Amino acid sequence: MRRAIFGLAAVITVGIALTGCTGSAGHTESDDKTINYWGFEGGISTKTAKQVISEFEESHPGYTVNAVVMDTADFDVKLPSTLGKASGPDLVYTGTEPNHLGRYVNVGQVSALDDVWQENGWDNLVPSTQQRLTYDGTPYAVGNELETVGLMYNRVILDRLGIPVPQTLEDLEAAMDKVLAAADGTTPMVLACGGPCYAGLHMMHALSYATIPTDEIVAATSDGDGAYTDDGWLEMLEKFKKWNDAGYFTADASGIPDENHTADFCAGGTAFMVKGPWMFNAMAECEKANPDAFEFGFTGFPVADGMPFQAYVGTGKAWFLSSSLDQNDEKRQAVLDLVKGFTDVSTFPSWIETDQRFPAVEFDAAEYKMTEPQQQAMQIIQDAGDNGGAVDVGFNNSAEETQVWVAGLQGILAGTTTPQDVIDELQAQLEKDQAAWADAK
């Protein structure tokens, strides 16, 4: 198997907790012509995904794709007990972190793809994708939605206050100080950490890569040999606390749910927000709705002075097949054909220009019409180069560790937990995850 060449990008976004099916009713999960497909909305309900599914059903008579949009919580509950069985999905589109793909590979619930990797062109996946999809030299999934976590900003506010786009972490802090000093009710930085605290975890992605070398971040995982007691992690959480204490974040952030927490940014009430390309379409709509108060800008989240530029780069999602298909060659091939349809070069204009999502197979950006934020995202990914990482902090190990992150961030925001307390809890959970990973192997 050939390694892929360098490429691109990030973080996850949660799917909508709705159920939707394509194809005809009347098929059961035991029907070999029904492909049960569970995934986040990007692989199911976007224009590109729907078109690929429709074309697949036309070209594969008798086959029906039962496509169900699921969110992270549903996946965490349902996949462990159903993947690899007839009662579960044949195809999954979800995160690629060890917490998802890795743990299923370890217990034999995922079909290896080394037999079809090159012939389907998946050996041209970008390296950050390939690292996340390969275990013991064998690929198990096909990446999509290259992402990065960056700094979104409202040009209207920055222009009004005479703030240049921050180039270093210190510049960003000075900019947020200037927003506060204006005393006009503008919030420096959007943050919401109620419920699953996804926005808080995105902030951890950004601050980690802004202050900690990538190799140390990648090592602090269930399949790595690092630790949260290593230099950098405590200092990063102390900076998070400092920012909260300074009033940079949305007031009462620990109690604000993720739903609609971006509304104030869109309305022109907040200067900065940490998100990624999955939000570009929504930001374009915000500009249309509030042209006088909001003009969208996107740039790399600035790193600390003296550090080389680095950023989280990886895949937001990936397709992987149930190991139950290894007993049914015909259906396995059909499912592989569906995945090949999703990754065919003919779909790239739709993925990139309509859905504003980047495929994980190498492509020439100059051949496509990209918005300015998309171009900036591609530049961030290129600038990160070998300093890009394959781990999205906060989702990188177990569901239990994610909960430690969430509770810790909420505690820091509420003033009931110290950064050192969070480090102690993270380290204890990481040691359990690393031991479990070693046992599974």
pLDDT in tens, 226-256: 999 998 999 999 999 999 999 999 999 998 9
The per-residue pLDDT for 394 is: 65
Considering only residues 395 and 56, tell me which one the structure prediction assigns the higher pLDDT.
56
Considering only residues 97 and 150, tell me which one the structure prediction assigns the higher pLDDT.
150
Give Cα separations from 337 to 6, 57, 315 (angstroms).
26, 11, 21
Region 372-391: mean pLDDT is: 84
Give Cα separations from 409 to 199, 204, 271 (angstroms).
11, 9, 22
Return d(Cα 44, Cα 231) in angstroms, integer.
41
- Residue 2 DSSP label: P
Return d(Cα 321, Cα 340) in angstroms, integer.
12
- Residue 110 DSSP label: B
* DSSP string covering 166-227: P-SHHHHHHHHHHHHHH-SS-EEE----STT-HHHHHHHHHHHHHHS-HHHHHHSSTTS---
- Residue 302 DSSP label: P
* DSSP string covering 360-422: SB---GGGS---HHHHHHHHHHHHHGGGEES--TTSSS-HHHHHHHHHHHHHHHHTSS-HHHH
Return d(Cα 399, Cα 201) in angstroms, integer.
13
Of 424, 431, 432, 391, nearest in space to 408 by CA: 424
Is pTM beyond 0.85? Reply is no
- Residue 198: pLDDT band (50, 70, 90) is confident
- Residue 7: pLDDT band (50, 70, 90) is very low
The per-residue pLDDT for 315 is: 83
What is the Cβ-side half-sphere exposure of residue 220, based on CA atoms within 13 angstroms?
24
Return d(Cα 122, Cα 112) in angstroms, integer.
13
Length of the chain (residues): 441
Return d(Cα 118, Cα 287) in angstroms, integer.
43
Return d(Cα 393, Cα 371) in angstroms, integer.
28
Q: For all residues of the chain together, what is the average pLDDT? A: 88
**110 strand-pairing partners:** 322
Region 411-419: mean pLDDT is: 97
The per-residue pLDDT for 259 is: 76
Assess whether pLDDT exceeds 70 at residue 336.
yes
Considering only residues 102 and 404, tell me which one the structure prediction assigns the higher pLDDT.
404
Percentage with pLDDT > 70 across the chain: 91
pLDDT in tens, 113-161: 999 999 999 998 887 778 778 888 999 999 999 888 999 999 999 999 9
The per-residue pLDDT for 441 is: 66
φ, ψ for residue 254, nearest 5 deg: -65, -20
Distance from first CA to last CA of the chain, Å, rounded?
21
φ, ψ for residue 145, nearest 5 deg: 55, 65
Assess whether pLDDT exceeds 50 at residue 178.
yes
Residues whose CB is less than 8 angstroms from the CB of residue 217 and which lie 6 or more positions away in sequence, other chains included = 208, 209, 389, 391, 393
pLDDT in tens, 142-153: 999 988 899 999
* 3 state SS of 148: strand
Region 415-435: mean pLDDT is: 96
The per-residue pLDDT for 390 is: 67
